[in-house]
Chain A
Amino acid sequence: MNRTSRIGRTVSDLSRRDFLKAGSISGAALLIGFQLGRDLLAEATPQQERPVINPLNAWVKIDSSGQVTLVVNKDEIGQGVYTSLPMILAEELDVDFSKILVEHAPTDTKIYDLGTGGSGSVGDSWMPLRRAGAAARAMLITAAAQAWNVPTETCRTENGRVLHGHPVRSLGYGELVEAAAKLPVPALDKVPLKNHAEFHLIGTSVPRYDIPPKVNGSAIFGMDVRVPGMLYAVVARCPTFGGKPAKFDATKARALPGVRGVLEIASVGPGSFTAGGIAVVADSTWAAMQGRKALEIEWESGPAASESSASIREQFVALAEKPGKVVRNDGDAEAALANAAHKIEAIYELPFLAHATMEPMNGTVVIRDDGAEAWMPTQAPQWAQSIIAGATKLPREKVVVHSVYSGGGFGRRYQSDFAMEAVQIAKATGEPIHLMWTREDDMQHDFYRPATYQKLSAALDSNGNPAAWLQRIVSTSIRLFWDRADRVVPEQQEIHGAIQQPYCANTRLEYAYPQTRVPRAWWRSVSDSMNGFVTESFVDELAWTAKVDPLEYRLRLLSPARKIKNPVQPDATLNDTARLANVVKLVKEKSGWGSPLAAGRGRGIASHFSFDTYVAQVAEVSVGKDGTLKVHRVVCAVDCGRVVNPDGAAAQAESAIVYALTAALYGEITIDKGAVQQSNFNDYQMLRINEMPKVEVHFVPSEENPTGMGEPCVPPIAPAVTNAIYAATRKRIRRLPIRSEDLA
């Protein structure tokens, strides 16, 4: 999801220090905190004004035996943060990583910056975690130095011990923690950090902390939470968006064995956007599902019933023919186009997409007199906490939200709808409730990746370079689902991947939106997923028109090195064409671009900047005479700054490539009578092992601070594949998913 629009981000402004908090580990514990505000992350000049922050939260726990527990404030949804974030702490702290324990931070927004998304976990945590680890180490050294009565500069650390002198004497962190915890915390922005040359963890492929429990069935996901007295719940929701039960008969449902109750829950609008519906509460999942099947419900569909994919497309086509709101206007694209001898025009279309996490939505809530407890597979525990607090009228501090492992997130688990439904049912029944969604529920009540329809025109100058680039983006705006048009900027999350297009100095970008009730939110890489396809397809079309090798064309246009700003969000990171060109060159080398290919094969390239990371991919495909497409190989070059865990980062690249390739080949959510037509993996197909291409990932060595890896490898793959299809067949694919009739 777009990191600049993260919800629930709080910049805490603590004015007190917090030491010696007895944790769950026996003995005194050293708690070091720091502020994860963006302010600390900036490489600020001394003259720059910054708010004064007294940070101190809890990140490092050490018991008297020396057992180190590192706290993680981001949710493990498969992206490896339970390993990569502790690695940063452990590096500066200087402890044996193979012996540490990892604990998820409590949902305390005064201390922790919660919310996992926007590919921001490692990048946002890099400096704050280094500072926290270094500060903890400094305090432990000071305690040892005081114990030995020596200057701190004469002490050093190694694997959880402070060392001094020849012959060496040492004290373990566990022996020092009680005294260290009483010392003043060094100023976090001044505490010396390790020299990069001394890193022995960062940059290594430390095995993931959470993998062993994930191969023996012991890892607890949201679906696996079991609490005493728990009842299971499923909800029947109107298939049409915004529809409600007109009437229902639960007689048959209530008569079934195991069914303990049937109740209506109201739909909740702004804040959660739940569908509402009829909840069945039972002794087991199966009994709840059988109970739901036995419900007799008449739905009042409501106004969305008139919507369909066709009606939305009708709006798209009409809007694309009219001027939209101008969001970028560099140079004079219109004049350049008017003077052009030859115009290239294209229309691109991409559909709604479902997240389809492997683990469907779910959550468990227990409400007691004095508080509430919840177990949520979530990307936003703070939002779940707000929802539960609001629904139970409990203060936030009395609502404990446990983050459990998520079976995939991809942005879907940033929502709070499942938390709202769970607390509604728990409140109405007075019972501990485990709410689960079936695959059908999950597919049909998602917050979809927007659909889009885009009209582009360009002109080439006498050198074949783009003299003008006009792009009209029409899309089902995410912001407009969440709030009114007079309160939001509709295009804000729709333009990423287009707003910083680096290829043409005379670029005009316009935005328009249709009216629709289809729920929309952040899908892996958000609007970069759709605009990456459009931008990289269109520049490819220009290259072929200019009769220039598409890879060389991009290198030509990315030169001279310059930085492209985002006019809608001035503080957004600039798109550095030098770094983009660099990954294009790396992928050229690693893919063997230009070398002979087997007959019938084609190569396509796409390059894209998103979430502060630069990616270029080359796909190698073949198309059979009957139109069957095979993707043989994907070579991926990435500049994500310093790579914290190379194997972990490579796995994220592989993951994003498969996620996006699946969407390119099969992904399409269609709407009929205001309802989603797809329901399970039979009609929302997934790429499987037999279609997996060979994927090779290469990183640009970099000393820059780390940037994101969860999403940036999504945008380039679809255009790399369709560009490869063009190279192999001269058939240009302008709409996704790729259809066999487009290839035959």
Chain B
Amino acid sequence: MAAITFEVNGQHKSVEDSPDTPLLWVLRDTLGLTGTKYGCGMALCGACTVHLDGKPIRSCLTPISQIAGKKITTIEGLSRDTSHPVQRAWITEQVPQCGYCQSGQIMSAAALLAAKPNPTNADIDEAMAGNICRCGMYQRIRKAIHLAAKLAANGKAAPRAAAKPAGGAL
């Protein structure tokens, strides 16, 4: 099988998965980038959201044949050090509960702010209604998006969260 090549988080990747394999599984299983999550496999929940050439897509229903030669950004590549305004706002507002949906939420929110730096609540509804949060943190997500917009506009650093080793199995 011919290899399919594309860029992920600024790195060139070449994979041998069959062209109909959804990007979600290539990211998670072939490339070991498990930050992007599986929630439904039907583009109903948004947990699998990544950026394709800067625009949000549901990777669970995007076969890799469609991303050949393109640029993908996953949650791991959103920033080098958790410093993206959305990530900083998510920490300040203490958004995540279980956290499983949050990679998708953050990628959707980041794409929204890239397109609309000062979104209204209606903009937020429209951009984020595809992302389910089973823990119900929608009120905090909305507040954090407004904060992220401010942070991005002002370029200010949000209060720093205490330094902790990155997650992982405890």
* 9 shortest interchain CB distances as A-B pairs: A217-B35, A658-B136, A213-B167, A407-B100, A78-B98, A214-B99, A219-B167, A217-B75, A78-B97
- Give the docked Cα–Cα distance between A655 and B96 (Å): 11
Which chain A residues lie closer than 8 Å to B124 at the CB level? 689
Q: Are A659 and B134 in contact (CB under 8 A)?
A: yes
Which chain A residues lie closer than 8 Å to B98 at the CB level? 77-78, 357-359, 405-409
| Nearest opposing residue in chain A for B86, CB measure | A215
CB distance from A663 to the nearest CB of B (A): 11
Known: A217-B35, A286-B22. A681 touches B44 (CB 8 A): yes
Which chain A residues lie closer than 8 Å to B25 at the CB level? 284-286
Q: Are A103 and B100 in contact (CB under 8 A)?
A: no
- Give the docked Cα–Cα distance between A402 and B168 (Å): 11
Query: Which among B18, B34, B163 is the interface contact of A217 at CB below 8 angstroms?
Result: B34
Which chain A residues lie closer than 8 Å to B29 at the CB level? 232, 284-286
- Identify which of B30, B82, B97 gathers the most chain A CB atoms within 10 Å of its CB: B97
Q: Are A655 and B137 in contact (CB under 8 A)?
A: yes
Binary interface profile of A, 81-101, with partner B (CB < 8 Å = 1, else 0)? 010000000000000011101
Q: Are A689 and B106 in contact (CB under 8 A)?
A: no
Q: Are B44 and A657 in contact (CB under 8 A)?
A: no
Does chain A have a CB within 8 A of B128?
A: yes
CB distance from B106 to the nearest CB of A (A): 6
CB distance from A433 to the nearest CB of B (A): 14
Cβ contacts A to B, 8 pairs, < 8 Å: A215-B87, A215-B96, A216-B79, A286-B22, A402-B169, A407-B99, A439-B40, A439-B42
Which chain B residues lie closer than 8 Å to A544 at the CB level? none
Does chain B have a CB within 8 A of A225?
A: yes
Q: Are A681 and B40 in contact (CB under 8 A)?
A: yes
Q: Are A357 and B132 in contact (CB under 8 A)?
A: no
Which chain B residues lie closer than 8 Å to A682 at the CB level? 42, 44
Does chain B have a CB within 8 A of A392?
A: no
Q: Are A213 and B129 in contact (CB under 8 A)?
A: no
Does chain A have a CB within 8 A of B41?
A: yes
Does chain B have a CB within 8 A of A511?
A: no
Known: A209-B164, A407-B99. A216 touches B76 (CB 8 A): yes
Which chain A residues lie closer than 8 Å to B154 at the CB level? none
Which chain B residues lie closer than 8 Å to A409 at the CB level? 98
Known: A358-B134, A407-B37. A103 touches B97 (CB 8 A): no
Q: Are A689 and B40 in contact (CB under 8 A)?
A: no
Does chain A have a CB within 8 A of B6?
A: no
Which chain B residues lie closer than 8 Å to A394 at the CB level? none
| Nearest opposing residue in chain B for A82, CB measure | B170
Beyond contacts A223-B34, A658-B133, A686-B132: 11 other A-B pairs, Cβ-Cβ < 8 A, are A79-B97, A103-B170, A104-B170, A207-B162, A212-B164, A215-B95, A358-B39, A358-B47, A648-B94, A682-B44, A688-B129
- Identify which of A215, A285, A375, A407 gathers the most chain B CB atoms within 10 Å of its CB: A215
Query: Which among A654, A680, A690 is the interface contact of B44 at CB below 8 angstroms?
Result: A680
Q: Are B129 and A680 in contact (CB under 8 A)?
A: no
CB distance from A86 to the nearest CB of B (A): 12
- Identify which of B22, B32, B39, B100 gathers the most chain A CB atoms within 10 Å of its CB: B100
| Nearest opposing residue in chain A for B145, CB measure | A689
Query: Which among A207, A209, A220, A658 is the interface contact of B138 at CB below 8 angstroms?
Result: A658
- Give the docked Cα–Cα distance between A82 and B164 (Å): 13
Binary interface profile of A, 270-294, with partner B (CB < 8 Å = 1, else 0)? 0000000000000011100000000
- Give the docked Cα–Cα distance between A648 and B140 (Å): 12
- Give the docked Cα–Cα distance between A212 and B160 (Å): 10
Known: A207-B161, A220-B34, A408-B98. A690 touches B135 (CB 8 A): no
Q: Are B91 and A213 in contact (CB under 8 A)?
A: no
Which chain A residues lie closer than 8 Å to B137 at the CB level? 651, 654-655, 658
Does chain A have a CB within 8 A of B141?
A: yes
Binary interface profile of A, 195-216, with partner B (CB < 8 Å = 1, else 0)? 0000000000101111111111
Which chain B residues lie closer than 8 Å to A99 at the CB level? 162
Query: Which among B21, B75, B95, B169 is the interface contact of A286 at CB below 8 angstroms?
Result: B21
Q: Are B37 and A211 in contact (CB under 8 A)?
A: no
Which chain B residues lie closer than 8 Å to A207 at the CB level? 91, 94, 161-162
CB distance from A87 to the nearest CB of B (A): 13
Binary interface profile of B, 148-170, with partner A (CB < 8 Å = 1, else 0)? 00000000000001111111111
Q: How many residues of A contact B (CB 8 A)?
A: 75
Binary interface profile of B, 4-19, with partner A (CB < 8 Å = 1, else 0)? 0000000000000110
Q: Are A692 and B87 in contact (CB under 8 A)?
A: no
Known: A214-B99, A358-B39. A78 touches B139 (CB 8 A): no
Does chain A have a CB within 8 A of B57?
A: no
CB distance from B25 to the nearest CB of A (A): 4
Which chain A residues lie closer than 8 Å to B21 at the CB level? 286
Q: Are B134 and A218 in contact (CB under 8 A)?
A: no
Q: Are A651 and B94 in contact (CB under 8 A)?
A: yes
Does chain A have a CB within 8 A of B125?
A: yes
Q: Are A688 and B132 in contact (CB under 8 A)?
A: yes
Which chain B residues lie closer than 8 Å to A304 at the CB level? none
CB distance from A364 to the nearest CB of B (A): 10
Q: Are B167 and A357 in contact (CB under 8 A)?
A: no
- Give the docked Cα–Cα distance between A358 and B18 (Å): 28
Q: Are B142 and A692 in contact (CB under 8 A)?
A: yes
Q: Are A655 and B129 in contact (CB under 8 A)?
A: no
Does chain B have a CB within 8 A of A665?
A: no
Query: Which among A221, A402, A647, A690 is the interface contact of B100 at CB below 8 angstroms?
Result: A221
Known: A77-B98, A681-B40, A682-B44. A216 touches B135 (CB 8 A): no
Which chain A residues lie closer than 8 Å to B90 at the CB level? 211, 215
Which chain B residues lie closer than 8 Å to A211 at the CB level? 90-91, 94-96, 99, 161
Does chain A have a CB within 8 A of B33?
A: yes
Does chain B have a CB within 8 A of A583?
A: no
Which chain A residues lie closer than 8 Å to B102 at the CB level? 214-215
- Give the docked Cα–Cα distance between A436 and B100 (Å): 15
Does chain B have a CB within 8 A of A224?
A: yes
Does chain A have a CB within 8 A of B101?
A: yes
- Give the docked Cα–Cα distance between A129 and B109 (Å): 39
- Give the docked Cα–Cα distance between A359 and B96 (Å): 14
| Nearest opposing residue in chain B for A221, CB measure | B100
- Give the docked Cα–Cα distance between A659 and B135 (Å): 7
Which chain A residues lie closer than 8 Å to B161 at the CB level? 207, 211-212
- Give the docked Cα–Cα distance between A659 and B101 (Å): 15
Interface residues in B27-85 (C-beta closer than 8 Å to A): 28-30, 32-42, 44-45, 47, 74-76, 78-79, 82
Which chain B residues lie closer than 8 Å to A215 at the CB level? 82, 87, 90-91, 95-96, 99, 102, 106
Known: A218-B167, A404-B169, A651-B94. A257 touches B82 (CB 8 A): no
Which chain A residues lie closer than 8 Å to B141 at the CB level? 689
Known: A216-B75, A286-B22, A686-B134. A439 touches B166 (CB 8 A): no
CB distance from B108 to the nearest CB of A (A): 10
- Give the docked Cα–Cα distance between A49 and B133 (Å): 48
CB distance from B82 to the nearest CB of A (A): 4
| Nearest opposing residue in chain A for B46, CB measure | A688
Q: Are B167 and A405 in contact (CB under 8 A)?
A: yes
Which chain B residues lie closer than 8 Å to A214 at the CB level? 96, 99, 102, 167
- Give the docked Cα–Cα distance between A205 and B140 (Å): 15
Which chain A residues lie closer than 8 Å to B136 at the CB level? 654-659, 662, 687, 692
Does chain B have a CB within 8 A of A226?
A: yes
Does chain B have a CB within 8 A of A174?
A: no
Does chain B have a CB within 8 A of A20?
A: no
Q: Are B139 and A224 in contact (CB under 8 A)?
A: no
Query: Which among B28, B44, B94, B168 is the interface contact of A218 at CB below 8 angstroms?
Result: B168
CB distance from A52 to the nearest CB of B (A): 33
Which chain A residues lie closer than 8 Å to B76 at the CB level? 216-218
CB distance from B78 to the nearest CB of A (A): 8
- Identify which of B76, B96, B130, B163 gathers the most chain A CB atoms within 10 Å of its CB: B96
Which chain A residues lie closer than 8 Å to B168 at the CB level? 213, 218-220
- Identify which of B39, B82, B91, B103 gathers the most chain A CB atoms within 10 Å of its CB: B39
